[in-house]
A = this chain, B = another copy of it.
């Protein structure tokens, strides 16, 4: 037998030898995934030409990243986020037809059991922050309203914290709510203007960002999950275009189409109608849902 037939490894044949060793994998998808991972990993190593010390630094980086993961914290997801991998996987899995609203990352702060509220409710339960009213419509790609759509919203407060990060400081379910559209597809609720915030930056990912000259901030945004029968579920944000970090989201979540307008309104009559004490922020944003493939029009 020739050396390569015997599975003997060289710098030149490394991809073929390792991939051939996986030939008996029963799961074809696993075999395919491992072929790509092996090839791209070896390509990267051959291009980088790491020293033994650099290789060991990489091993220790991954080890420390793993040690930071627990029930409450997922440092490998953060790593995926700041490398653009999470957004890439999101993009690949959410290619939308023309005209439909774009998706972005879910993030770690969604909770499944937020209360369903009547339209117009104020999801700010502690009266902290600048008042804001948000309204718009949920439409299909032909511009028709989607009735019975469920809008699940959550956001950080005026200091950049979610309720689950400040248990005992913020009320439970602060700045969360679930709303259901009527026949007009319209939605509206009251809240406070969200603020930018850092992703957790006291671990390996934070150290990496510092070494790369990057900040850990996400620009101010509201999270949404929109569900309706016959439509693809949409997980997305809307962003404040005037946020100082709008062009440098640490996790690459911003898309042009997700920039809303945050307008300052100084109108005593409208403020009184909304039960706001003074000037407030107004956001109008329409969501467009894509029909499930094969669903009736």
Contact = CB atoms under 8 A, between A and B. Distances in A.
A134 interface: no
Contacts of A265: none
Interface string A16-60: 011001111111001111101110111111111111101100010
Contacts of A76: 59, 62-63, 66
A45 B74 CA distance: 20
Chain A facing B: main interface SS: helix
Number of identical protomers: 2
A84 B7 CA distance: 11
A40 B44 contact: yes
B84 A38 contact: yes
16 contacts: A7-B247, A8-B247, A9-B87, A9-B91, A9-B252, A11-B88, A14-B84, A21-B212, A21-B214, A21-B252, A40-B41, A41-B83, A50-B89, A55-B85, A62-B62, A67-B67
Interface of A: 1, 3, 6-11, 14, 17-18, 21-27, 30-34, 36-38, 40-52, 54-55, 59, 62-67, 69, 74, 76-77, 80, 83-93, 95, 211-214, 246-249, 252-256
Given A14-B88, A22-B214, 10 more contacts: A6-B256, A8-B255, A9-B253, A14-B91, A18-B83, A41-B83, A42-B85, A59-B76, A63-B74, A66-B66
Top 7 nearest A-B pairs (CB, nearest first) are A66-B66, A24-B213, A18-B84, A40-B44, A9-B252, A11-B91, A6-B247
